């Protein structure tokens, strides 16, 4: 999965308004998110990054559903013609109202829905990576786990509605993902990423 990441101005400031530090943090989180997605035989590759160092280029309210819609509109208008990617995720720094992440279900490879937003309002890198992998899971057609879902003897799996950094993708997650692939929704995932 080729992922493009946008970092909002508040998260940039929380990382010391330091571009090098921000790039390193995003790379670390992406590498850790990749360790989660290997459980469904999928590799995450950072296709590119944009850091809003001066100001946010969209309105970023506390309601992440609104932020997701705003980001998705910006992505379609300003990003898609510049960079090739399978999905774009936005990292915001504020503490949201409600959920800490929002994503379009089945959005990967879709020109209209290939987006997600995650609120990293803390400094727990592993939890941030789990959140990124969780929202990417939704982009890949994976719904929240239910009581019959299991993952390697863990009580909570990655796609439980309460984000956990302890478990990986469940048997249910694998089923949802393979259904996504069988329905030919993930065709962009099979190309080999090229350096840009």
pLDDT tens per residue across span 120-136: 988 899 999 999 999 99
Res. 196 pLDDT band, cuts 50 70 90: low
Q: How many CB atoms lie within 10 A of CB 75?
A: 24
pLDDT tens per residue across span 57-101: 999 999 999 999 999 999 999 999 999 999 999 999 988 777 899
Q: Are 88 and 5 in contact (CB under 8 A)?
A: yes
Strand duo 101-103 + 87-92: pairing: unpaired
Q: How many CA atoms lie within 13 A of 172 on its CB side?
A: 15
Domain coordinates of the chain in residue numbers? 2-142
pTM as predicted: 0.95
The pLDDT assigned to 194 comes to 67
The pLDDT assigned to 30 comes to 97
The annotation places the binding site for Zn(2+) at 134, 138, 144
Tell me phi and psi for residue 103, to 5 degrees.
-150, 155
Q: If you write DSSP's letter for every residue of 50-109 in order, what string do you get?
A: EE-SSS-SS---SBHHHHHHHHHHHIIIIITTT---SEEEEEE-SPPBS-SEEE-TT-TT
Mean pLDDT value across residues 176-196: 87
The pLDDT assigned to 96 comes to 79
pLDDT tens per residue across span 15-72: 999 999 999 999 999 999 999 999 999 999 999 999 999 999 999 999 999 999 999 9
Strand duo 115-119 + 87-92: pairing: parallel
The annotation places the binding site at 134, 138, 144
Mean pLDDT value across residues 3-8: 98
Catalytic residue among 59, 118, 135, 166: 135
Q: What is the mean pLDDT of the chain?
A: 94
To the query of whether residue 135 is one of the catalytic residues in this protein, the response is yes
- Tell me the CATH number for domain 2-142: 3.40.390.10
């Amino acid at each position: 999965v080729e992922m493009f990441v946008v970092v909002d101005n508040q998260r940039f400031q929380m990382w010391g308004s330091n571009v090098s530090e921000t790039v390193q943090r995003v790379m670390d989180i992406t590498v850790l998110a990749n360790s989660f997605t290997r459980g469904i035989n999928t590799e995450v590759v950072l296709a590119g990054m944009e850091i809003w160092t001066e100001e946010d280029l969209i309105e970023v309210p506390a309601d992440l559903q609104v932020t997701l819609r705003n980001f998705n509109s910006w992505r379609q208008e300003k990003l898609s013609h510049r960079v090739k990617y399978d999905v774009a995720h936005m990292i915001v720094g504020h503490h949201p109202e409600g959920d800490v992440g929002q994503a379009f279900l089945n959005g990967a490879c879709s020109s209209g829905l290939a987006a997600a937003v995650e609120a990293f309002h803390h400094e727990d890198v592993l939890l941030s990576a789990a959140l990124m992998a969780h929202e990417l899971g939704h982009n890949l057609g994976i719904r929240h786990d239910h009581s019959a879902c299991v993952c390697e003897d863990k009580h909570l799996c990655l796609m439980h509605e309460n984000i956990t950094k302890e478990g990986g993708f469940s048997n249910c997650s694998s089923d949802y993902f393979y259904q996504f692939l069988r329905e030919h929704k993930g065709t962009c995932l099979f190309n080999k990423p090229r350096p840009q």
